[in-house]
Structure 1
């Protein structure tokens, strides 16, 4: 039973975190994604690098068995065992530059409980205002979903129509090294991204799970490469998981003034859908 009235008391809760974006962090980000950008002081930082800055530094003894921080604190103590980043949106106002201090001001916007196909779901919406040396850089909406462990096997690839191939397409090998590197960049201890025995034995998945924010970052990079400039708006939503047991593709197609983008297995349904606007 979820006491929604209690959880909604977290609406309006705020926190603030800051971190200096050093050349070393920018270099590690670029190395993870095979980018060749400038990483010295003053260089324009790559898109969505802010997701790797100022993560919660929770002591190891305060982590749960899945590697996530124990419930409570800034996020509400939702009594459901599995937490995922379901989607988000970004509005870009200015550049983050290497050598500047990036500050994230966060506020809980909403907490809602719904009944889904697999049981009870709790959605928490967080807004982040991000600045770089005091200049507004972006506004982010983060959609977090909590769910139980019962229901259909989340690890099974669902029977669904095969996703179309995009006008623009790029293959990605989700190696364990790539997933580990992104977990390290984001100080993300969630074991589903790097601990194969745990994933198979405790979570029942067929492989390590590809991070949602990493997929979104790759789609954002694809959008930039296609149009030659950074979007002013970008939003994404996760539909089904991707695992490290098979390569997947990044896809894009022109859609009016913007691009629609998606990730998928070669023979699978859409895993993440996104849209970029200029």
Structure 2
């Protein structure tokens, strides 16, 4: 672990959680549920088919006891949650190498471990960056390896969020791949349920506005990432994804008109999510096999 001498550093200098193994059968039910949420006419894959990239986020879910949740809906304690005071969590980005796609309906194993842990000084204070590594196996073979970058702060910050949500302004782009979206509270609630995400900023508008200072419900970062990857699945179905990386740059809010866009090349594609406020709420790079 690379820990700078800082206010947060001493809390995690001796924090070294061991690896954890979990097993799950990749049921087709979550795939059908997410397909419906995305308004697809039928499930995008069935038993025996390859799981679309990052749709494994619908599996290996953790359901802590209700008493173990904090006021914000996040678990108070967890094996990979750093022991810093008044902890606030943000999903910053990640990477995934797909050696072989996971197959729906087959048993799978996930090996989770902590990678790097660093502290950095941000515009609104000190931040702790934790990278968690996941290795997914089926039939005894490593199928894909994923890293997720999670950012933590101690206490709340004065976020620079817009004062309101404009539900009519439409982003525009000349990109060849385009997918318009307008997530509403129903969609965010359903996605929270699909991913076992109890964070109240996604379904409790008074809490999001009064306690965390947002103008409305926050669109899940993973939903933005999966929406970008839908561009690849819909426009390049014969191009298997070999690797991908993504970054979540700024929040988008329920009711806003979003536009996922993609610029494909011979062996890769650049993707992003825009609103009228920001052309790059989320970005991703995809490399084809």
TM-score normalised per structure 1: 0.90
Structure-to-structure mapping, 1:147-158, within 5 angstroms: 147=153, 148-155=155-162
1:42 and 1:247 map into 2 onto residues whose CA distance is: 35
**Corresponding residue number in structure 1 for 2:26:** 21
Measured after TM superposition, the shift of residue 76 of structure 1 is: 1.6
**Corresponding residue number in structure 2 for 1:34:** 39
1:192 and 1:179 map into 2 onto residues whose CA distance is: 10
Quote the RMSD (CA, aligned, Å). Answer: 2.2
Q: 1:6 to 1:197 in 2, by over 3 A?
A: closer
2:109 and 2:162 map into 1 onto residues whose CA distance is: 36
Measured after TM superposition, the shift of residue 11 of structure 1 is: 4.0
Give secondary structure in 2 for the equivalent of 1:246: coil
1:74 and 1:248 map into 2 onto residues whose CA distance is: 32
Q: In the alignment, is the contact (CA less than 8 A) between 1:53 and 1:102 conserved in 2?
A: no
**Corresponding residue number in structure 1 for 2:199:** 190
Deviates more, 1:97-106 or 1:237-246: 97-106
Q: 1:138 to 1:206 in 2, by over 3 A?
A: same
**Corresponding residue number in structure 2 for 1:172:** 181
2:86 and 2:265 map into 1 onto residues whose CA distance is: 38
Asked if 1:276 corresponds to 2:282, the answer is no
Deviates more, 1:116-125 or 1:33-42: 33-42
TM-score normalised per structure 2: 0.87
**Corresponding residue number in structure 2 for 1:71:** 77
- CA offsets 1:76-122 (integer angstroms, 9 cap, x no match): 22335321110001110112222112221111011111111111111
**Corresponding residue number in structure 2 for 1:82:** 88
- CA offsets 1:33-82 (integer angstroms, 9 cap, x no match): 23334554323223212111112221110111000001353322233532
Q: 1:33 to 1:242 in 2, by over 3 A?
A: same
- CA offsets 1:151-198 (integer angstroms, 9 cap, x no match): 3433558xxxx8854232111011111111111111111111111111
Unaligned runs of 5+ in 2: 1-5, 165-170
2:172 and 2:252 map into 1 onto residues whose CA distance is: 14
Give secondary structure in 2 for the equivalent of 1:262: strand
Q: In the alignment, is the contact (CA less than 8 A) between 2:17 and 2:80 conserved in 1?
A: no
**Corresponding residue number in structure 1 for 2:257:** 247
Q: In the alignment, is the contact (CA less than 8 A) between 2:51 and 2:102 conserved in 1?
A: yes
1:43 and 1:265 map into 2 onto residues whose CA distance is: 34
Moved over 4 A (4+): 162-165
**Corresponding residue number in structure 1 for 2:15:** 10
